[in-house]
């Protein structure tokens, strides 16, 4: 079998932790920020562990990660 290719967009956006969980950017900070509260903007910094149902989809794009 040939090697599977990793999706380039996924490898730029997601990382796998040592325990196999998927880490990604916090959603909701791209546009319409004027109506967001300062608390929301502050809490949406950094990265988060993805929900298991979302992580299952992302793992298909990262076969060797």
Tens of pLDDT along the chain (65 residues)?
899 999 999 999 999 999 999 999 999 999 999 999 999 999 999 999 999 999 999 999 999 88
User: Phi/psi of residue 43, each to 5°?
Assistant: -75, -20
Among 43, 47, 4, 56, CA closest to 24? 47
Query: Can you list the domains of the chain with their CATH numbers?
Result: 8-61 (4.10.410.60)
Residue 49: per-residue pLDDT: 97
Residue 65: per-residue pLDDT: 80
The 3-state DSSP class for residue 48 equals strand
Residue 46: per-residue pLDDT: 95
Residue 62: per-residue pLDDT: 94
Q: What is the pTM of this model?
A: 0.81
């Amino acid at each position: 079998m040939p090697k599977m290719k990793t999706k380039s967009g996924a490898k730029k956006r997601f990382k796998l932790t040592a325990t196999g969980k998927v880490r990604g950017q916090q959603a909701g900070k791209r546009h319409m920020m004027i109506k967001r509260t300062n608390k929301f903007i502050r809490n949406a910094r950094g990265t988060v562990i993805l929900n298991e149902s979302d992580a299952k989809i992302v793992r298909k794009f990262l076969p060797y990660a």
